[in-house]
Amino acid sequence: MKEIDLIKDLVSLQSPVEALKSLARVYAGKVVFSTSFGYEDQVITHLLFANEIPVEVFTLDTGRLFPETYSTWNKTLDKYKRPIKVYYPDANAIEKLVTQKGPNSFYESVENRKECCFVRKVEPLKRALKGNAIWVTGIRAEQSANRKDMPQVEWDEANHIIKYHPLLHWTFEEVKDFVGKNNIPYNPLHDKGFVSIGCAPCTRAVKAGEDFRAGRWWWEDSSKKECGLHVHPAMGKALTV
């Protein structure tokens, strides 16, 4: 895809800040960043807001987030005085799901859990991305084996959008140091062993020696751990978020 090659050339020799500025200029009004208020996402939010880069920042409120996540969200608004657009699940879909299967059906089967993820996350994401050209994410190669060979710029067939991962090659320590040096608000659950923070019923702290992803959907086989937000074309399957 020629456009992807052009974008790769555009961002390859630039810092994340300069790359984001370039993308915002070339694709004015069509670059969006999705945040879940984790370490990586807070770094990118800081880069965008502190440098006044015209990229829309949005989040998906599944209705099952941790109180600490909402607190981090509020602290971010207080610090930067910039809006973060929120997308909620379709009310009718949520009412139907919970009425038919109850509030915790996701523990009962992989199919039920994926259905919950679709209603609460995938469908709202599609609405958030619709009409845009570039989707900026906080994905890092270190986060899982599936991500270590990901390109920094790639085509997302499921959402028909180009994805850019500005922190792909950053280490966890680099991310954490950046957060500290720039006094960036972060989710206090990170200090309690939570590495990847999603919905409260589906996330736990990671124990010593466990994989980065062990805290997500821990009751499932590791090969089933995906929710459909991130799809890597080379793998032909969805990646966990």
**Ramachandran angles phi, psi of 139, nearest 5°:** -65, 140
As a whole number of angstroms, the distance between CA 139 and CA 84 comes to 19
Q: Is 202 a catalytic residue?
A: no
Catalytic residue among 116, 199, 202, 227: 227
Tokens of 56: 């829309």
Examine residue 16 and state whether it is found in any structural domain, yes or no: yes
pLDDT of residue 146: 62
Closest CA to 69 of 53, 86, 47: 86
Examine residue 234 and state whether it is found in any structural domain, yes or no: no
pLDDT of residue 48: 98
Examine residue 137 and state whether it is found in any structural domain, yes or no: yes
| 4-12 average pLDDT score | 90
Q: How many CA atoms lie within 13 A of 155 on its CB side?
A: 11
pLDDT of residue 145: 57
Examine residue 121 and state whether it is found in any structural domain, yes or no: yes
- Would you call 165 helix, strand, or coil by DSSP? coil
Place 225 in a pLDDT band, splitting at 50, 70 and 90. very low
Q: Please name the helix (run of DSSP H) or strand (run of DSSP E) that holds residue 87, with its range, or none.
A: strand 85-87
Examine residue 221 and state whether it is found in any structural domain, yes or no: no
Examine residue 36 and state whether it is found in any structural domain, yes or no: yes
Examine residue 152 and state whether it is found in any structural domain, yes or no: yes
Digit-coded pLDDT (tens) for 55-84? 999 999 999 999 999 999 999 999 999 999
CATH number for 147: 3.40.50.620
Helix locations, the chain, DSSP H: 2-12, 16-26, 39-50, 67-80, 91-101, 110-117, 123-129, 172-181
Q: Which domain holds residue 159?
A: 2-193
Asked whether the predicted pLDDT for residue 212 surpasses 90, the reply is no
pLDDT of residue 209: 77
Examine residue 23 and state whether it is found in any structural domain, yes or no: yes
Asked whether the predicted pLDDT for residue 19 surpasses 60, the reply is yes
pLDDT of residue 220: 85
By CB atoms closer than 10 A (0-12, 13-18, 19+), residue 98 is middle
DSSP secondary-structure letter at 163?
A: E
pLDDT of residue 82: 98
Q: Between 226 and 139, whose confidence is greater?
A: 139
Digit-coded pLDDT (tens) for 139-189? 998 876 566 678 999 999 999 999 999 999 999 999 999 999 999 999 999
As a whole number of angstroms, the distance between CA 128 and CA 150 comes to 23
State the total domains in the chain.
1
